[in-house]
Amino acid sequence: MVKSGRTLQVRVDDETARKFAVVARARRMTESELLRVTINNMLRETENNVDMLKAKLRAEFEEATRDLDELLPSSPPAAASKRSQPRR
């Protein structure tokens, strides 16, 4: 049992809450204990897969960059670049 620490809150729909309570009872755990175990398992799994997560994030970033690059013209139009030059 955790006596100190930070409290986290989460809202779930009624059906999810009901299922979670059933699983907790079946495992003879409180809902808080089950949630702590679930969070710790997820964190442990994440720590074990850091390189995979980095690669996934890198790929997502590169895809988003390509998507954003499509919004910009590859080079400014000639007329616009002539207008931007100062007159002498």
What pLDDT, in 10s, does the model give residues 72-85? Answer: 877 555 555 555 55
The span from the CA of 68 to the CA of 39, in Å, is 35
* pLDDT, greater one: 10 or 87: 10
20 pLDDT higher than 70:
yes
Question: How far is it, in rounded angstroms, from Cα 63 to Cα 57?
Answer: 10
Is residue 27 domain-resident? yes
Domain encompassing residue 23: 14-70
CA dist 82 → 27, 28, 74, 76 (Å): 73, 76, 17, 10
- 48 pLDDT exceeds 60? yes
pTM: 0.55
Reported as half-sphere exposure (CB side, CA atoms, 13 A), residue 14 has a value of 0
- Residue with more model confidence, 34 or 71: 34
Is residue 47 included in any domain, yes or no? yes
The tokens for 48 are 């074990």
Output the average pLDDT for the chain. 86
Number of domains in the chain: 1
Q: What is the pLDDT of residue 40?
A: 95
Query: Does residue 26 lie in a domain region?
Result: yes
